[in-house]
A and B are shown apart, each in its own frame.
Chain A
Amino acid sequence: MNSAYAVPAVALVVLATVLVGAFGLRISRTTSDFYVASRTVGPRLNAAAISGEYLSAASFLGIAGLVLVQGPDMLWYPVGYTAGYLLLLLFVAAPLRRSGAYTLPDFAEARLASQTVRRLAGAFVVGVGWLYLLPQLQGAGLTLTVLTGAPDWLGGVIVAVVVTVIVGAGGMRSITFVQAFQYWLKLTALLVPALFLIAAWQSDGAPSHAFDEPAAFREQRVVRVDDTLDLRLERPLTVTVDGTVDGRDLDGAETALSAGAHRIDGGTRLTFAGGAEVPAAGRGADDALSPSRAESREERPLYATYGLILATFFGTMGLPHVVVRFYTSPHGVAARRTTVVVLGLIGAFYLLPPVYGALGRLYAPELTLTGDADAAVLLLPGRMIGGTGGDLLGALVAGGAFAAFLSTASGLTMAVAGVLTQDVLPSRGVRHFRLGTVLAMAVPLGASLLVGGLPVADAVGLAFAVSASSFCPLLVLGIWWRRLTPPGAAAGMLVGGGAAFAAVAATMAGYPGTGPWHALLAWPALWSVPLGFLTMILVSLATPGRVPPGTAAVLARFHLPEELRTEVSA
């Protein structure tokens, strides 16, 4: 990868982000401006902003990498990320806007009139937000390392500083402009190179074995293994080895490897013949941006697919940076229409990562082994087109990737800072909001510098599972069920979200290893979402005396069209 173009491209994206943010700063005056852009954002601008915020590093780089390594099953991720918005539209969008709350804890308090539930919801917002911020910062570091060889921490620090400055200075209004701008930037950065790549693929005779299972090398290819990894072979493989395999030193000898596991030491060169199948790498591959590391370990059971579908479908509505955007719509009807536009924009974007994944299987299958699968999107233009054109397209993709880190990170920082300012810091003024912003970014940045190479990417899957099991029941039951009580809501969030959190944390610690227990814990949504709903319903039914007295009026406010409102409450 030639960094001569990539570095200016990344710098340009950062600069443009700051400039567009400064444009918003001139109109950001009051507290309401800060948090919800004074509720004057129209459906199109808001939809582009929501999409720009939502399409994170995992979408931009991670999906293509996962598809490259594991094939089309991984396409459930983008489908789930999109369908999550349909569920949000069906059950949450308009009532949530009409609730008139700034944040999820505000919603909990408005609905249940309970400070305890409010604080609990705030804790979950901060927790989910920080978990989601961590992989964004690490992804930025990884991208900058792949592009320029800069140290790991640098990309994360750049993203953290830029985001803190923009959010702290301009609040939500400027963020709305920045996010909308970055949606179109990301789409362009993926679409234009994709068109060139498809043209290159056509002129190559349009080979289509990318769709076969497993991926195979098209021609003789030398692969350098950087980190020690375990190779699992389905059938015997003949390969030329220059380095150490299974503890044996081999110098350019053609070696027949039997079926089963083999350990390849770091620094080894493997030469595969054309047509050879690409072997599957076990533990040790560094898929830092993949939505979940639990994915890459073994054959996925059907259960895992359903768990993934449930987590992404139900988890989207509870992500703090998604929900906070709906408060910026002027009214409930606009919130609904915004969601439809979002579905279209996100769906259009997600047509592209599979293209990169499929082409990656054709032209860069060895990325599976070298542990750089997430870099497939960045490396393909250089690999397939080459020359200055390839470098320029690669620079465009790199700029888009940075836009992805910046936009998702600023949305999350916004949401976390809002909660910190309102519930943790002593006063709610704009000054304290700035302090909250610094705090919101400092913790995940510190964590990302500390944990370094740990598989923090699981945090994205974890965030979805926790959100689906805690916020989804709170929102859906809070909006549609009259008998929800504060104890029920608190118990449901703690049991559902807590169980999901514990399960994925156990998986990340490598607790059960393999077998059915592993699948149950790695994909908790299938049991933790029903558990959260059930706990919330049963505890609410057991405490019928605790139904808040104003419930009927609150629900009327959630559901009545705006023209029937008598009093507008903030």
Chain B
Amino acid sequence: MPQDPTERRVVVTGPPRRALRSSGYYRPRTEIDEQTTLGHTYVRSLMRIQLRTGLTVFAVLALLIGPLPLVFAAAPDARRLEWAVLGFGLYPPLVLLARWYVRRAERNERDFVRLVEDR
């Protein structure tokens, strides 16, 4: 075991990374920059996960909104409910869905950057 952990960290992760970068070693990032098939696969994987996140939120939205006109048409006496839901009730879920999506999308991107940069 090394006596001084901070000393050890500088030695292991500092200079070697720079050396790797300049010598054109295998790195996903280079693959993406040079548009190789492997690079496209990386981009595709990011697109797929981002699209899946978007479609998930869209599905929740569709399930939330889709049945409402039917409900209001089926219960014409529930006018007060319609006023409350359409006038106030739908806005908080919309903002919450948006916030959840942004957090997921940014995490997807961070994970991707980590995958590509820190091999």
A447 to chain B, nearest CB (A): 34
A327 to chain B, nearest CB (A): 19
Q: Which of B39, B79, B102 contacts A336 (CB 8 A)?
A: B102
For the complex, is A94 an interface residue (Cβ under 8 Å from B)? Answer: yes
Interface segment, one of B5-13, B15-23, B40-48: B40-48
Q: Mark B96-119, 1 if CB is under 8 A from A, else 0.
A: 011101100110010011001100
For the complex, is A555 an interface residue (Cβ under 8 Å from B)? Answer: yes
Contacts of B79 in A (CB 8 A): 71-72, 211-213
Alpha-carbon separation in the docked complex, A566 to B95 (Å): 34
Alpha-carbon separation in the docked complex, A480 to B55 (Å): 12
Alpha-carbon separation in the docked complex, A347 to B96 (Å): 12
Alpha-carbon separation in the docked complex, A396 to B57 (Å): 39
- Report if A555-B43 is in contact (Cβ < 8 Å); known contacts: A72-B79, A561-B113: yes
Alpha-carbon separation in the docked complex, A560 to B76 (Å): 49
In contact, A358 and B113 (Cβ under 8 angstroms):
no
In contact, B87 and A89 (Cβ under 8 angstroms):
no
A-B contact count (CB 8 A): 117
Alpha-carbon separation in the docked complex, A212 to B43 (Å): 55
Instruction: Say whether chain B's binding surface is mostly helix, strand, loop, or mixed.
Output: helix
In contact, A564 and B86 (Cβ under 8 angstroms):
no
A199 to chain B, nearest CB (A): 19
Residue of A nearest to B72 (CB): A73
Q: Which of A480, A555, A561 contacts B112 (CB 8 A)?
A: A561
In contact, A89 and B98 (Cβ under 8 angstroms):
yes
In contact, B43 and A559 (Cβ under 8 angstroms):
yes
Instruction: Give the B interface residue count (CB, 8 A).
Output: 46
Which 9 pairs across A and B sit closest by C-beta, in order of nearness? A75-B86, A347-B91, A354-B87, A90-B54, A305-B69, A72-B82, A561-B109, A556-B43, A340-B98
In contact, A90 and B69 (Cβ under 8 angstroms):
no
CB within 8 Å of B: which of A363-382? none
B55 to chain A, nearest CB (A): 8
In contact, B50 and A559 (Cβ under 8 angstroms):
yes
- Report if A559-B94 is in contact (Cβ < 8 Å); known contacts: A73-B72, A90-B101: no
Q: Name A's B-contacting residues (CB within 8 A).
A: 71-73, 75-76, 79, 82-83, 85-87, 89-91, 94, 211-213, 302, 305-306, 309, 333, 336-337, 339-340, 343-344, 347-348, 350-351, 354, 358, 480, 552-553, 555-556, 559-561, 563-564, 566
Contacts of A564 in B (CB 8 A): 29, 32, 113, 116-117
In contact, A553 and B35 (Cβ under 8 angstroms):
yes
A308 to chain B, nearest CB (A): 9
User: What are 11 A-B contacts defined by CB distance under 8 Å?
Assistant: A73-B82, A75-B83, A79-B91, A90-B58, A343-B98, A351-B88, A351-B91, A354-B86, A358-B83, A552-B35, A559-B50
Contacts of B82 in A (CB 8 A): 72-73, 75
B56 to chain A, nearest CB (A): 9
B62 to chain A, nearest CB (A): 10
Alpha-carbon separation in the docked complex, A212 to B73 (Å): 15
Alpha-carbon separation in the docked complex, A490 to B68 (Å): 35
- Report if A86-B35 is in contact (Cβ < 8 Å); known contacts: A351-B87, A351-B91, A354-B83: no
In contact, B91 and A306 (Cβ under 8 angstroms):
no
Q: Which of A82, A333, A358 contacts B106 (CB 8 A)?
A: A333
Q: Which of B43, B70, B99, B117 contacts A340 (CB 8 A)?
A: B99
Alpha-carbon separation in the docked complex, A76 to B66 (Å): 12
A495 to chain B, nearest CB (A): 24
B37 to chain A, nearest CB (A): 10
For the complex, is B33 an interface residue (Cβ under 8 Å from A)? Answer: yes
For the complex, is B75 an interface residue (Cβ under 8 Å from A)? Answer: no
For the complex, is B38 an interface residue (Cβ under 8 Å from A)? Answer: no
Residue of B nearest to A358 (CB): B83
18 additional contacts (CB under 8 A) given A79-B65, A563-B113? A79-B91, A83-B61, A90-B54, A211-B80, A309-B65, A333-B106, A340-B95, A347-B91, A354-B88, A480-B47, A480-B51, A553-B35, A555-B43, A556-B39, A559-B47, A560-B32, A561-B109, A564-B116
